[in-house]
Structure 1
Amino acid sequence: MFKTVMGTLLKPFLRDRFLHLLVLLGIVLTCFQPAKIVQFPQFVDWDTIVTLLGLLMLTKGVEVSGYFDFVGRKMINAIDNERWLALFLVMAAAVLSTFMTNDVALFIVIPLTITLKKLTSLPVTRLIIFEALAVNAGSLLTPIGNPQNILLWNKSGLSFLQFIAQMAPLAIITLAALLLVTWFCFPSHSLKKLESNEGYPFQKRLLFSSVLLYVAFIACVDLGLAIYGLLAVILCFIWLARQVLLRIDWPLILVFIVMFIDVRLIVGLDILQPAFAHIAGLPDYGHYLLSIGLSQVISNVPATILMINYLPSGALLAYAVNAGGFGLAIGSLANLIALRMANDKKIWLKFHAYSFPFLLFSGLAGWFLLPLVVK
C-alpha cells in the first residue's frame, strides 16, 4: 500500500520536464548567489501557493466526482451540428476556466473532445486549439481563473468582485472575438450522436461537498484566512475521498514555488541590475509591451512574478500578462498542456496560426480598454 501511494506521488515529479528545467536553472543561478539559499522561503509568495493548492484540490474533487464528464457527454448527445458543438465546447472551456484554473478546465474539456475522434468527423485538432485559446480568454476574467491572476489578486487588495469588474472589459471582447472566429471556422454539418450515458455515473456526495467547500474556501481567501480554508479542505477530503489528495497535480505546486525562487535569483544577478533599474522609469506603454514580451519568452506566470517587483499589481500588468498568454505556445502553461494532450505533432504549427492574431487583437484591445478601468 505504501509503495503504491509513493509511486502515485513520485511518478508525476519524475516525468515533469518543465519542473526539471526550472530546478536546473535554479541550481545554476544559485551557484552565482550561494548566500541567498537561506532566503529561498522568503522569495515564495505563500499566500498564492496556498490559494492555488486549495483550488487544485477542490477542482480535482469535482473532477473525481465524475459530474463534468457526465454532463459533458449528455450535452454532446443533444448536439448534432459541428458548428454548435464546437461553440458549446469552446464556451464550456471558457466558462469552466473562470472558476477553475485554466489547466484544470482543459483536463475536463479536452478528454471529452478527444473521444469524438471515434464518433464523428469533427476536426478535433482544430477544436483543441480553440479550447486552449478559450481557457486563456475565460480565465482572465476572475482572480482564480489562472495562476497569474491569483498572484495579482493577492497583491492588489481588491475584493473578488472588484477584480472581476477590472478584468471584464478585456474578457468580454476577447471571448466575443473567439466565438465569432469559431463560428466561421467550423461549418454547419450534421454529426453523429453518442448512444448512451449509462456508463458514466457521478458521485453526488463528493460533488456537493466540493461545491460547498469551494464557496467556503473563496470566502476564506477573500477574508485573508486562506490557510484556515486550506486546512478545512484537506481535512474534509481525508474524510470524504483521500484519492483526491493523491491525484492533485503536486508537481504544478512545486513548479510555482521554484518559479518564485528562480525569478528572484534572476532579478538579483548583478549583470542584469542596470537593465532592471530602468523598468520602473519606463512609460506605461513600455511597461505594457515589456510585460507582453516577457510573457512570450518566459511564460506569463514567471513574467508576472518578475514584473510585480517593479510595477503595481493593477489593471495594466493584469491586462498585459493575460494578453501575453496568446502568441507563442510558451506564453501560457495552459497552451503547453493542451498541445501535449492533443498528441498531434502538426498541432503546434497550426496553433500559432490562430494564436498570434489573438495576441495582436487582445494586446491592442487591452491597451485601448485600460482607460475604462484605470482611474
Structure 2
Amino acid sequence: MGNSTFVFVVFILVYLGMIFGRLPRLALDRTGIVVLGAIALLASGHASLEGGRSGIDVSTILLLFGFMVISAQFRLGGFYSEVSRRIAGLPVSPGALLGAVILVSGVLSALLTNDVVCLAMTPVLGRGCIRRGLNPLPFFLALACAANIGSALTLIGNPQNMLIGQYLNLSFGGYLVFAALPTAVSLLFLQGIVLLLFRGKFLLPMAAKEEPERPFNAWQTAKGGIILCTVVLLFLFTSLPRDLVALGAAGVLLLSRTMASRRTLDTVDWQLLALFLGLFVVNGAFEAAGGLEIMKDGLSRLGMSLASPSRLYGVTTVLSNLVSNVPAVMLLLPLVRDIPGAGYILAVSSTFAGNLLIVGSIANIIVAGEAERMGIPFDWKGHARVGVPVTLASLATGLACMVLI
C-alpha cells in the first residue's frame, strides 16, 4: 500500500468513526478513534512529532489548556452553581426566567468554554425548576442553545473558535465586533422560538430529588474573575500572544494555598486535548499526502467554491453535524486560509450549526446526559424541534448581518 493510500485510508476511517461514534466490534469512542488513527500514522512513519511535521498547532493547545484551568477555577469555586441557584430562585414569570437563563448562559459561554457552563449549570438549574413546579425541558434546551450561540461571540468561547483565531491570527476585537450583532439577534430568536413551542407547557409538577451542590467560595470566584478580566483586556488592547497570556493566567491560578492543583487539573478536559492532538496529526498527514488538493479539485468540479459565504455556511453546517464542529473546522481551515474574511464566517457558522442536532455540539450532549440522569426526557427529536428553527434563524441572521456590515 502506497504512502498516500495508507494515509487516506486512516483519514477516512477516522472521520467515519467521528460520524458514527464508533467502529465495528471495537469499544472506542470518538476520541479513542482519533488517537488510534494518530498512533497508526506515527508508528508507520507517515507522520512525525519532529519539528513542524506533526501538524500540531501548539499555540491552540496552550490556549485551550489555559482556559480550561480558568474555567476550572470558577467551577471549583462554586460560581456556576451559585449563578444557577440565583437564576432558578428569581421571583419572575417563566418567560422572564427563560430570558435570564438565555442571557446568563450566552454571556458566560462567550468568556468561558460553553461545555463547562452547561456541565455545571444543568443539574442545579433543573432542580431549581422542579422545586418551582416548572418543566425543566424548555430551560435545558434554552441553556444548551444559548451556550452555543453565546460562545460564537468571542474567539475564546469554544474550542473551534480558539483554533480559528490562533490558526488565522484573527483580531480578538475585530471578531468581537463582527459577531456581536448576529449573536445578540440569534439569542432573541431563541427566546421567541422556545416561548412559542412551549406555550402552555411551562408548568410540570415533579418530585425534586435533592443532591449535594458545590458550595460557593467568594474569594476563589473573585480571584478567577480578576484573572479572566485581565486576560480579556490583554487580548483586546495588546498584541501579546494569546496562548502565552492564557498559559500565564493558568499558572497564576495554580498558585494557591487552599485549592490543590490536583483538583484543578482533574477538572481539565484531557479527552478534548487528546482529541485535538490526534486530529492535528491525522489532518497534518492528510495534507502532506496531498489530500487537501484532491478535496479542492473535487469541490471545484462540483462548483462548490468555499469563497462564497453562503456555500461556506452550508458546507460547515452539514459537516459540523456529521463529525461535530471541532473536526469540521480542522478539516476546513486549510481550505479557506487564503480567503479574506473566511475565518469570521467559519467561526460563526460552525458554532451556530452546533444547535441543529444533538451531535452537533458537545454542549448539547452534556445537557442531554444530565437531563436523562435527572429523569427528564431529552431525545434528539425534542432537541431538533427547537434546534432546527434556532439554527436556521441564526445562520440566516449571520448571513444578513454580514451583508449589512
Distance 1:88 1:295 in 2: 28
Distance 1:364 1:74 in 2: 34
Which residue of 126, 151, 164 corresponds with 2:163? Answer: 151
Question: Secondary structure of 2:334's partner?
Answer: coil
The alpha carbon displacement at 1:101 in A equals: 1.0
Task: Give the whole-Å Cα distance in 2 for the aligned partners of 1:346 and 1:35.
Answer: 43
Question: Structure 2 stretches of 5 or more lacking a match?
Answer: 1-26
1:65 is matched with which residue?
77
Counterparts of 2:121 and 2:359, CA distance in 1: 20
**1:227 paired to 2:241:** no
TM-score, normalised to structure 2's length? Answer: 0.77
1:298-336 Cα offsets, whole Å, 9 max, x none, are 111111111110113532322322232121222222222
Distance in 2, Cα, partners of 1:142 & 1:322: 11
1:91 shift after superposition: 2.1
CA contact (8 A) 2:113 2:158 kept: yes
Give the TM-score normalised by structure 1.
0.82
CA distance in structure 1 between the aligned counterparts of 2:334 and 2:144, rounded to whole angstroms: 29
Secondary structure of the 1:327 match is coil
Deviates more, 1:343-352 or 1:22-31: 22-31
Where is the helix percentage greater, Structure 1 or Structure 2? Answer: 1
What is the alpha-carbon distance in structure 2 between the residues aligned to residue 226 and residue 256 of structure 1? 15
Partner letter of residue 218 of structure 2? K
How many angstroms apart in 2 are the aligned matches of 1:93 and 1:211? Answer: 16
- 1:315 counterpart = 2:344: yes
Q: Is the 8 Å Cα contact of residues 77 and 221 (structure 2) preserved in structure 1?
A: yes
1:173–1:259 distance in 2 versus 1, CA, 3 Å: same
CA change 1:235–1:208 in 2 (3 A) is same
Residue 34 (1) aligns with residue 45 (2): yes
Residues 1:250 and 2:270 are matched in the alignment: yes
Alpha carbons of structure 1 residues 228 and 362: separation in structure 2 relative to 1, 3 Å:
closer
Which runs of 5 or more residues in structure 1 are unaligned? 1-14
Task: Write the distance in 1 (CA, Å) between the matches of 2:240 and 2:400.
Answer: 33
Residue of structure 2 equivalent to 1:5: none
RMSD: 3.2
Q: Which amino acid aligns with 1:36?
A: A
1:52 aligns with 2:64: yes
Q: Distance in 2 between matches of 1:86 and 1:238?
A: 38
Match of 1:263 among 283, 293, 302: 283
Report matched runs for 1:4-19 at 5 Å: 17-19=29-31
Task: State the shift of 1:138 in Å.
Answer: 0.8
Q: Distance in 2 between matches of 1:272 and 1:233?
A: 36
How far apart are residue 146 of structure 1 and its match? 1.0
CA distance 1:229–1:125, change in 2 (3 Å): closer
Q: How far did residue 165 of structure 1 move?
A: 0.3
Aligned residues: 355
Number of the residue aligned with 1:333: 362
Letter in 2 for 1:294: L
Residue type matched to 1:141 in 2? L
